[in-house]
Chains A and B, each alone.
Chain A
Amino acid sequence: MMKRLLVIVVAVVCFSWASVGFAGDLMIFSGAGLIKPIEEMRANFANHHKVIVDVHYGSSGEIFAAVAAGQPCDVLIPGAEKYTEDALKNGWVIGDTIRTVVLHVPLIAVPKGNPANVKGFMDLVRPGVRVAIGDPKAPAIGRVARKMLKKAGIWDQATKNITVYAPTVNQLLIYVALKQVDAAIIWGDLVTWAEGKGKLEVIPIEKQYNIIKTIPTAVCTKAANKNLAHKFNEYIASDEGLRIWEKWGFEPCKK
């Protein structure tokens, strides 16, 4: 009886090790804000090629650091091109595999009914408007928000209104939906779902203030299975891939 118990324990331990060993044919690092389209493409790709695709979602800074620390990554898809450019400089991604796929457009999200009557970018510095932005060092949207406010020359005034610097993009959505802030600077694609459900409203940022980013994909130099990594990379930027991006509110670069 005890022997059998021991055997079971040993078997479980061995099995859990084995399953770790065999996990995944392809490892993707993706910005957390891209989860909806990437998940759909991951499932399609895995089905079509009969392979296991694992995706690690994190803030752009976090996945960039993970690649820097030498964690196994085959395809890198951060939330802004700056990270891929830096990765290229350090020799972590293969230059001619970089594809700029879709636009990442920042906008202002306000709670339903727009309680502070925010009409444009300059309203963010009106006294009494509570503003949320991403932490400028963590998610890509935080860095972009600070850049836009600085470019418009209103960063110092804006900091008086900023009540929270959220470490994750998802917090921004919760705070707007629960009316804890009057406005948040956020990626357009992130609010398509919540806007559709009538939880919040969207105010476009005027062209002269806005900084529109592109989302790149690239194969890593250390990719274990280069062939498969290339196929996934191409699929992300293919016409079929772009249709999925569009479905989730992203705008293809080509248009």
Chain B
Amino acid sequence: MQKVNIFKISLTAVTFFITLLLVLAIGSLFVVPSLEDIRQNIWNAEMRYSLKLSLVTGLISTVLVMLFALPVGYALSRFHFWGKGFVKTIIDMPIAFPELVLGLCLLLLFGNTPVGKLLSALGLTFVFTKKGIVAAQFFTALPYAIRIMKSTFDYINPRIEFVSRSLGYSMAETFKNISLPLAKNGILASTVISFARCIGTFGTVLILAGGSYMKTEILPITLYLNISYGNMGMALTSGIVLMVVSFIAIFIFEKTEVGL
């Protein structure tokens, strides 16, 4: 009996210890700058530019991510096809490797290759452009969205879909009228996490879009640029804005109660 207690107490203690450290770390971001400083920084032209660009690119990227995550997540959850294991590994890979590597890969692909030249001819130039920011965010957030969508569809009992088909719906109609409404929470969670991931993408954007001041500057770049300018007030303010976005995202995510 006593043994169980020590076990429980020590594990809970470790949990609280880590939580306390995190709370202190997050809290220090809010304690250091003065409110007046933050207010001024938020209305500063650079911050407004960066915030606006972050929101616009983040929204576009999230919509694109979801357009791909829904069909891919459904396919991975429901269908068995040749090469599925390989596909899953490749799609998950960007989660494991650093953003800088992903950025370098994309820079190489969209650079002086036939693929890059073809896209450029179509007006899709990704190197050093705002479109590049969207591309970088898209590839960084996509694997997370697909993972959440796949596990969402995994939890929906296929029997419900079979019943729908036996009552006359085609496969596509079942997807639209039965599976999608049932996956509502998962779609919300996936969208929110994708948006947070897009807003927070740094390394990929830095390499592919260049991270130029007031040109391809999004919030994490503002934070980084201002660290190198030595302007800590601005750096902290962008940190706080990013923190608020992730907090809201995680809060909504926890509410939807889907597993990763």
Contact = CB atoms under 8 A, between A and B. Distances in A.
Determine if chain A interacts with chain B: yes
Interface of A: 2-3, 5-6, 9, 58-59, 61-62, 64-66, 68-69, 135, 137-139, 163-168, 171, 174-175, 178-180
B210 A58 contact: no
Given A137-B225, A164-B128, A175-B210, 17 more contacts: A2-B6, A2-B7, A3-B6, A58-B228, A59-B228, A61-B228, A61-B229, A65-B229, A135-B213, A137-B213, A137-B229, A164-B212, A165-B212, A168-B228, A171-B207, A171-B211, A178-B111
A167 B232 CA distance: 16
B228 A180 contact: no
B157 interface: no
Interface string B76-108: 000000000000000000000000000010011
Contact of B107 (A68, A165, A180): A180
Nearest to A138: B228
B3 interface: yes
B227 to A, nearest CB: 6
A171 B7 contact: no
B112 interface: yes
Contacts of B10: 2, 5-6, 9
Contacts of A178: 107-108, 111-112
| Majority-rule SS of B interface residues | helix
B224 interface: yes
Contacts of A58: 228
B14 interface: yes
Contacts of B212: 135, 164-166
B187 interface: no
B238 to A, nearest CB: 14
A87 B10 CA distance: 49
A64 B104 CA distance: 29
Interface residues of B, number: 28
Contacts of B6: 2-3, 6
A137 to B, nearest CB: 5
B141 interface: no
Interface in B216-233: 221, 224-225, 227-232
A175 B104 CA distance: 10
Contacts of A174: 104, 107, 207
A68 B230 contact: yes
B3 A2 contact: yes
A43 B233 CA distance: 36
A163 B213 CA distance: 11
Nearest to B209: A164
B4 to A, nearest CB: 9
25 contacts: A2-B6, A2-B7, A2-B10, A3-B6, A61-B229, A65-B229, A69-B232, A135-B213, A138-B229, A139-B228, A163-B128, A165-B213, A165-B215, A166-B211, A167-B221, A167-B224, A168-B228, A171-B210, A171-B211, A175-B210, A178-B108, A178-B111, A179-B111, A180-B111, A180-B112
Contacts of B211: 166-167, 171
Contacts of A2: 3, 6-7, 10
Among A3, A66, A165, A175, max chain B CB count under 10 A is at: A165
Contacts of A64: 230
Nearest to B4: A2
